[in-house]
């Protein structure tokens, strides 16, 4: 006996009731907000997965780089860390360095011997290597920030879109009341309820997107700083071994 009563109660009040009594414009706004929510959640989930993979691969890369005796060892052995933005920075620096050292970026059986026989590079050439590192850091930062505008749009636009639906619905409600010459609460309640659901939907879209956006912005900013630090560490390692300072350094 209680279950049918409960079903009827939730069917007559709340979100279902409000949606059923919203006008066509309100339902269109709700549809747009639902689509926006789907896009924003897809961005948040994909970014979180990307960040987890990038951090895991970067830890492996840094551990391998810092235990290697030569800064070009990872590049020479063709080791790959495809999910790590730091690896892209490392690869760009190594390619630029080997080009200035040997005139080519090709890796073959004679790579070690050619590296030993090559002369150290000048400060001007090393500046080109640093520029390549900085350029790749910027490109990786842009890749990590890709599609963040979707979340920013959801945070700022969803509440206003929901408010538009509410104002439109209230306007239609008062117009219908004026036409019917009946201003009772029973007449107003369905229309006002249907109008308010768009604001509720807008907030339900914007609030998770706001938390996700703030989390991702802070995380990506931290990863960008780590990329800058790694680029500086890599440049210092290159300077120590391959920069012409006038004193011999083992390779």
* Domain-embedded: residue 108: yes
Residue 14 backbone class (left: φ over 0; alpha: ψ -120 to 50; beta: rest): left
* Domain-embedded: residue 2: no
* Domain-embedded: residue 3: no
* Domain-embedded: residue 140: yes
Residues spanned by the domain of 68:
22-242
Convert the pLDDT of each residue in 153-198 to its tens digit. 999 999 999 999 888 888 887 777 777 776 666 667 777 778 888 8
DSSP 118: S
Confirm if 39 and 150 have CB atoms less than 8 A apart: yes
Tokens of 118: 């090559």
Top-confidence residue, 62 or 12: 62
* Domain-embedded: residue 55: yes
Number of domains in the chain: 1
* Domain-embedded: residue 36: yes
Rounded Cα–Cα distance for residues 224 and 179 (Å): 61
Convert the pLDDT of each residue in 212-230 to its tens digit. 999 999 999 999 999 999 9
* Domain-embedded: residue 248: no
* Domain-embedded: residue 177: yes
% of the chain beyond a pLDDT of 70:
89
């Amino acid at each position: 006996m209680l279950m049918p009563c409960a079903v009827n109660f939730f069917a007559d009040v709340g979100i279902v009731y409000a949606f059923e009594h919203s006008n066509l414009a309100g339902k269109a706004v709700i549809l747009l907000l639902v689509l926006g929510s789907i896009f924003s959640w897809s961005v948040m989930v994909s970014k979180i997965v990307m960040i987890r993979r990038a951090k895991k691969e970067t830890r492996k890369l840094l551990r391998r780089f810092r235990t290697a005796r030569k800064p070009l060892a990872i590049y020479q052995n063709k080791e790959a860390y495809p999910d790590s933005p730091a690896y892209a920075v490392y690869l760009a620096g190594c390619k630029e360095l080997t080009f200035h050292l040997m005139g080519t970026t090709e890796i073959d059986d004679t790579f070690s011997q050619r590296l030993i026989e090559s002369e150290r590079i000048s400060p001007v050439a090393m500046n080109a290597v640093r520029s390549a590192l900085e350029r790749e850091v910027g490109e990786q930062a842009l890749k990590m920030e890709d599609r963040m505008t979707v979340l920013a749009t959801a945070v700022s636009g969803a509440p206003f879109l929901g408010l538009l639906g509410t104002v439109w619905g209230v306007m239609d409600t008062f117009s219908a009341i004026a036409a019917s010459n009946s201003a009772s609460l029973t007449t107003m309640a369905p229309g006002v309820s249907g109008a308010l659901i768009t604001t509720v939907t807008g907030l339900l879209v914007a609030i998770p997107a706001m938390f996700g956006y703030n989390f991702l912005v802070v995380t990506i900013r931290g990863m960008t700083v780590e990329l800058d630090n790694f680029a500086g560490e890599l440049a210092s390692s290159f300077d120590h071994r391959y920069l012409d300072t006038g004193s011999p350094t083992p390779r």
